[in-house]
C-alpha cells in the first residue's frame, strides 16, 4: 500500500523509469517506487516533469500537488476516469435528497465542533469550552443558525491568541492553509476515484468552486490539522515556512488518528471516510457515518 508523501523542493528533472519516479538533483538520481507514493508535492517551479510520468501518476491515482511562487499549494491533478461507473454515480449524486444532505452536513458540523473542543482540551486551553459546548448543543439541522461559524471564531482566538485573525498574512495562517490544501486535494482525489463530482457540494455551492464537496468533507479534519500545526509551530522559531517545516506539514498525512475505533494514518482515513459518507448518501445507513479524531481523545 502506498504510504510515502514526497516533497520535491529542488530538482532539475523528474521522469519515469521502470515504475519508479526518478528525481535528478545536482547530477545525482534519486529513485522512488510509484507503488510507495501516496502524495507528490512539486515545490520547485524550475522542475522539468515528463508527460509520461504525469500520465502514469494519473493512471495510478497518485495525488499530485503543485505550488505557486510563494510555495503554497495552488493546484492538483484530478483524474478523469478513476471509476468505471462514473456516469451512474454522478446521476445518483444529482438525486441525493435535500434531507439527507442537510442531515449529513449537520453531523459534519457537529463533528468539527467536537474536534475543536478536543483540540483545546488537549493543549489545556479550556477557558472558552463551556461556550463551545453550549454552541454545539444549539446546532440546528443544516446549521442554519451558524453555530459553527461563531464557534470557530471563539476557537481560533482560544487556540492562537486574541490577536489572531483567520486569513491574515502570517506564519500561522500560511501553515494552516498549506496543510488544509494538501488534505483538500487528497479528499478531492478520493471523491473522483469513487466516481463523484467534487464540485457538487452539500453546503458549499459556489459556482466558482470546483471543490465544493471536498470543502464540505474536509471540515472534521481541520481541528486535527490545527493540533498538529499548533504543535509544530510551538517548536519553530521562524516567522516563515522553512523547508523543514514544510516537510513536517506534508508528513502530517502519515500521522495516526482514530477512525472507527482503529488507528490509521490520515491518508488512509480519508479513503475510508469518504467512501463511508458516500455509502450513507446512497443507502441511508446512518451507521456508515463515522468521523476521525485525534488518537488520544476518547
pTM: 0.88
Question: Where residue 298 falls among pLDDT bands split at 50, 70, 90?
Answer: very low
What is the pLDDT, as a whole number, of residue 111?
Answer: 97
> How far, in Å, CA of 109 to CA of 34, rounded?
36
Q: Which residue has the higher pLDDT, 250 or 237?
A: 250
Whole-number percent of the chain with pLDDT over 90: 58
Query: What cell does 224 get?
Result: 486535527
Handedness of CA 208, 211, 216, 221 (dihedral sign): negative
CATH superfamily of 86-294: CRISPR-associated endonuclease Cas1, C-terminal domain (1.20.120.920)
- Residues of the chain within CATH 3.100.10.20 domain(s) are 4-76
Q: Cell match 508523501: residue? A: 5
What is the pLDDT, as a whole number, of residue 6?
Answer: 86
What is the pLDDT, as a whole number, of residue 277?
Answer: 97
Q: Give the mean model confidence (pLDDT) for residues 264-278.
A: 95
pLDDT at 102 over 90: yes
Closest of 157, 120, 121, 152 to residue 139, by C-alpha: 152
Q: Give the mean model confidence (pLDDT) for residues 98-115.
A: 96
**CA 129 to mean position of chain CA atoms:** 25
- Mean pLDDT over each residue of the chain, to the nearest integer: 89
- Residues of the chain within CATH 1.20.120.920 domain(s) are 86-294
Beta strands 37-42 and 4-8 are parallel
Q: What is the topology classification, in CATH, of domain 4-76?
A: Ribosomal Protein L15; Chain: K; domain 2 (3.100.10)
**Long-range contacts of range 77-84, CB-CB < 8 Å, 24 or more positions apart?**
77/189, 78/188, 78/189, 78/192, 78/198, 79/189, 79/192, 79/193, 80/192, 82/192, 82/193, 82/195, 83/192, 83/193, 83/194, 83/195
Task: Mention every residue, 6+ apart, whose C-beta is less than 8 A from residue 184.
Answer: 211, 214, 215, 218
Write out pLDDT tens, residues 130-172: 999 999 999 999 999 999 999 999 999 999 999 999 989 899 9
> How far, in Å, CA of 51 to CA of 294, rounded?
39
Beta strands 28-33 and 73-76 are unpaired
Write out pLDDT tens, residues 180-232: 999 999 999 889 888 888 889 999 888 888 889 999 999 999 999 999 999 99
What is the pLDDT, as a whole number, of residue 273?
Answer: 97
Task: Mention every residue, 6+ apart, whose C-beta is less than 8 A from residue 279.
Answer: 285, 288
Amino acid at each position: 500500500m502506498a504510504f510515502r508523501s514526497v516533497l520535491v523542493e529542488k530538482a532539475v528533472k523528474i521522469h519515469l523509469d521502470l515504475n519508479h519516479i526518478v528525481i535528478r538533483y545536482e547530477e545525482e538520481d534519486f529513485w522512488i517506487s510509484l507503488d510507495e507514493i501516496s502524495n507528490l508535492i512539486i515545490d520547485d517551479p524550475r522542475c522539468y516533469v515528463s508527460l509520461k510520468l504525469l500520465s502514469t501518476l494519473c493512471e495510478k491515482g497518485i495525488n499530485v500537488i503543485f505550488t505557486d511562487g510563494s510555495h503554497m499549494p495552488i493546484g492538483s491533478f484530478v483524474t478523469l476516469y478513476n471509476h468505471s461507473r462514473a456516469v451512474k454515480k454522478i446521476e445518483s449524486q444529482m438525486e441525493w435528497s435535500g434531507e439527507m444532505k442537510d442531515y449529513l452536513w449537520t453531523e459534519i458540523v457537529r463533528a468539527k465542533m467536537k474536534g475543536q473542543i478536543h483540540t483545546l482540551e488537549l493543549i489545556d486551553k479550556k477557558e472558552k469550552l463551556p461556550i463551545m459546548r453550549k454552541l454545539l448543543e444549539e446546532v440546528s439541522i443544516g446549521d442554519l443558525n451558524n453555530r459553527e461559524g461563531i464557534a470557530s471564531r471563539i476557537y481560533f482566538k482560544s487556540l492562537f491568541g486574541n490577536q489572531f485573525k483567520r486569513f491574515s498574512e502570517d506564519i500561522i495562517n500560511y501553515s494552516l492553509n498549506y496543510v488544509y490544501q494538501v488534505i483538500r486535494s487528497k479528499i478531492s482525489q478520493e471523491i473522483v476515484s469513487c466516481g463523484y463530482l467534487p464540485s457538487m457540494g452539500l453546503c458549499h455551492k459556489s459556482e466558482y468552486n470546483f471543490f465544493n464537496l471536498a470543502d464540505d468533507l474536509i471540515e472534521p479534519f481541520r481541528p486535527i490539522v490545527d493540533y498538529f500545526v499548533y504543535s509544530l509551530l510551538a517548536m519553530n522559531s521562524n516567522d516563515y515556512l522553512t523547508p523543514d517545516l514544510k516537510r513536517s506539514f506534508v508528513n502530517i498525512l502519515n500521522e495516526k488518528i482514530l477512525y472507527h475505533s482503529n488507528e490509521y494514518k490520515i491518508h488512509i482515513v480519508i479513503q475510508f471516510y469518504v467512501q463511508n459518507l458516500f455509502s450513507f448518501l446512497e443507502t441511508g445507513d446512518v451507521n456508515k457515518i463515522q468521523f476521525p479524531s485525534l488518537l488520544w481523545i476518547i
